[in-house]
Structure 1
Amino acid sequence: MIKMINLTPHEATIFAQDGSTVLHTVPSSGVARAYQTREQIGEINGIPVCKTAYGAVEGLPAQEDGTIYIVSVLTAQAAKDRDDLYIVDDTVRDDAGRILGCKALAQI
């Protein structure tokens, strides 16, 4: 069985395709983030407008055989050279639109 490590700030709940049966619950084990820089480049109606850039990833362990990491979309995009990074996909929502979990994982 593949070891799943969740490096997002929230528990990852993975549902079966029926959207109601929970297959896995993966607690957060820390957070991997893409380093962010911001530079104000202007203003619109008194609201600052910034240019944002993302760089190296912080908090991402080295690759380990038999292990995958669940990360944010930004983190996965910043570390495209890694084939062990997955994001949540096919989200399951409640009646109010809040995300409860997902039915799949995806790669960037």
Structure 2
Amino acid sequence: MSSAQHPADEVPAVDVPDGVPAASDDAPGAGKPRTMRFRRSDTPRLDSEHAGRQGLIVRRAFELLGGRDAAMAFLNTEDTALGGRPLDIAMASEAGFQSIEDAMRLRSQGAAA
């Protein structure tokens, strides 16, 4: 048999992990190229007002707190003095946004002193 011939019965077997269904010739879509299929998520999406505040507070945190790691740590850590997680507070209302921005400004001035 030449190297140009590839009989189907000589295709090497592949181990399939437990829980993964094996392909079948009679399965729906068998023989068709696979395409990406997207499902709508059940997770609620942010409205434009909340998403806008989220983007702004993250950008301000990067600027005021000196980079990604410090910004993410501050925004995502529960802070009893501020009344919750700063990111949630900032996204909830304009007043919350302002209070978190003020808190970051004070922290950045304290670190610079």
- Length-normalised TM-score, structure 2: 0.16
Q: Going by fraction, where is helix more abundant, 1 or 2?
A: 2
Higher relative contact order (CA 8 A, sep 6+): 1
Q: Going by fraction, where is strand more abundant, 1 or 2?
A: 1
- Length-normalised TM-score, structure 1: 0.16
